[in-house]
């Protein structure tokens, strides 16, 4: 009965268009009112304890840092660098787009921000050079998903907090899978570009211009080394690195490049606060939701049921991947993580799979959800940025989805890709 109340209420509210965080909270409170041994204090305690986490502060700070760097000129210099060095080859503008997304992902840690920052510049440029608008927009939408895989990733921080694993280990585990997906996307882009004759940029840059672009982008290129190098060397924690990223973006956007005004700083802070506020509501309300599931032993029973059906690890992993792919098509990524992690974690630990490796698999699955309707957050953003209908973009992205699925299966069944850098 409690399970029916929890999930029934949650699903009905979602269908009614209620925000995920509110739906989780209302469903939890209704279940608490039914259970005789719980009261609403249980919900409040879960809300407070869910947000009382030092690593979660990194979510707030990395979101702010990403916006500061996007508006402050750092991302534009990275984009120009990629264009100067890679833009002339066949399919070069597509490769530039993917590489720029990888660079920007290492700064912003989010998918939709990457799509907006890179798409506004690259989609018109690709269309002007003869690329199909659907292909160009799908390239940006898909590449933007790397933003949640390459560290620092807000999604990985939330998974680490939910699964009670090291944020640093999750960041380390995400480096090679993120680069691997980037290379796979580049290969697909080049194959399609040669097939359709998509040419690169007409401008022939001199060695001096290439060197100048590298110099101009030097401060942006240093960001991943400063942030990630400091984390992995033990100089500072992921949360402290997020604070350093905010200061870095503020200093270079306001004092060095002078592309941010004092008024814009307050606008960026407000924009970041509204964005991260919704995330924190989801995390806070999901704690009580998860605790009720645990009290009712739902995760354990689901794990036992799945393991009783088959002991074949391959089949179990395929079933979990299918579940995550389906969930990713209609549920917001962070909500899916905080709801499904407590349910699926007992299953993968019983199989002997590392929670770190599973975290990467989960994040990649949900990243594919960014480009699959009906939710498809990156699709909606790219549709607006690329000025193309959602229907046309949904057809254009099918090939990219298949390539991402191939990368997902490889990462799932080759643990070394995720675990190679973990001590």
pLDDT tens, position by position, 181-190: 999 999 999 9
d(Cα 153, Cα 168) in Å, to the nearest integer?
A: 11
258-281 tens-digit pLDDT = 888 888 888 888 887 876 777 677
pLDDT at site 310: 74
Q: d(Cα 213, Cα 96) in Å, to the nearest integer?
A: 14
Mean pLDDT value across residues 380-389: 79
Angle at 377 between CA 52 and CA 109, to 5 degrees: 50
Burial class (CB within 10 angstroms; exposed 0-12, middle 13-18, buried 19+) of 284 = buried
pLDDT tier at 222 (50, 70, 90 boundaries)?
confident
User: Is the pLDDT higher at 70 or at 10?
Assistant: 10
% residues pLDDT > 70 (the chain): 89
Q: What pLDDT does 112 receive?
A: 65
Locate 34 and state its tokens: 């039914």
294: pLDDT strictly greater than 60: yes
Instruction: Assign 71 a pLDDT band (cuts: 50, 70, 90).
Output: confident
Q: What is the mean pLDDT of residues 47-76?
A: 74
pLDDT value of residue 411: 96
**How confident is the model over 147-163, as pLDDT tens digits?**
788 887 878 888 998 89
Q: Is the pLDDT of residue 109 over 70?
A: no
Please compute the mean of the pLDDT values over residues 363-383 and round it to a whole number.
79
Cα gap 367→250, rounded to integer Å: 29
What is this structure's pTM? 0.74
* Residues 410 and 417 sit within 8 Å (Cβ to Cβ): yes
Cis (ω within 30 of 0) for the bond into 103?
no
- Cα separation, 262 vs 244, in Å, equals 19
């Amino acid at each position: 009965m409690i399970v029916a109340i929890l999930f029934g209420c949650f699903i009905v509210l979602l269908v009614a268009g209620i925000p995920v965080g509110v739906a989780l909270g209302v469903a939890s409170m209704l279940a608490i009112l039914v259970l005789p041994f719980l009261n609403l204090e249980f919900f409040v305690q879960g809300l407070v304890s869910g947000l009382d986490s030092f690593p979660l502060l990194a979510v707030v700070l990395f979101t702010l840092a990403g916006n500061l760097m996007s508006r402050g000129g750092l991302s534009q210099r990275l984009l120009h660098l990629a264009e100067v060095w890679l833009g002339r080859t066949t399919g070069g503008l597509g490769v530039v787009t993917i590489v720029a997304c990888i660079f920007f992902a290492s700064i912003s840690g989010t998918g939709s921000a990457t799509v907006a920052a890179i798409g506004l510049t690259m989609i018109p440029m690709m269309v002007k050079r003869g690329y199909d608008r659907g292909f160009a927009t799908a390239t940006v939408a898909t590449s933007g998903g790397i933003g949640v895989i390459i560290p620092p990733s807000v999604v990985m921080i939330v998974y680490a907090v939910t699964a009670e694993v090291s944020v640093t280990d999750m960041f380390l585990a995400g480096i090679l899978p993120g680069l691997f997906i980037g290379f796979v996307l580049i290969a697909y882009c080049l194959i399609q570009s040669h097939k359709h004759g998509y040419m690169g940029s007409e401008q022939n840059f001199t060695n001096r211009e290439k060197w100048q672009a590298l110099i101009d982008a030097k401060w942006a290129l240093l960001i991943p080394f400063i942030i990630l190098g400091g984390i992995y060397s033990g100089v500072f924690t992921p949360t402290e690195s997020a604070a350093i990223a905010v200061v870095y973006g503020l200093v270079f956007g306001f004092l060095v490049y002078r592309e941010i005004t004092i008024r814009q700083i307050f606008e960026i802070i407000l924009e970041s606060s509204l964005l991260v506020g919704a995330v924190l509501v989801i995390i806070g309300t999901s704690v009580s939701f998860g605790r009720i599931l645990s009290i009712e032993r739902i995760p354990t029973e689901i794990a036992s049921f799945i393991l009783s059906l088959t002991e074949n690890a391959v089949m179990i992993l395929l079933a979990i991947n299918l579940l995550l792919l389906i969930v990713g098509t209609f549920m917001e990524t962070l909500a899916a993580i905080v709801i499904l992690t407590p349910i699926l974690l007992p299953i993968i630990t019983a199989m002997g799979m590392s929670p770190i490796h599973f975290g990467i698999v989960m994040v990649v699955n949900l990243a594919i959800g960014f480009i699959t309707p009906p939710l498809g957050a990156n699709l909606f953003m790219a549709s607006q940025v690329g000025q193309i209908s959602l229907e046309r973009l949904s057809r254009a992205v099918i090939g990219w989805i298949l390539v991402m699925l191939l990368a997902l299966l490889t990462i799932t069944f080759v643990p070394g890709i995720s675990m190679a850098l973990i001590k």
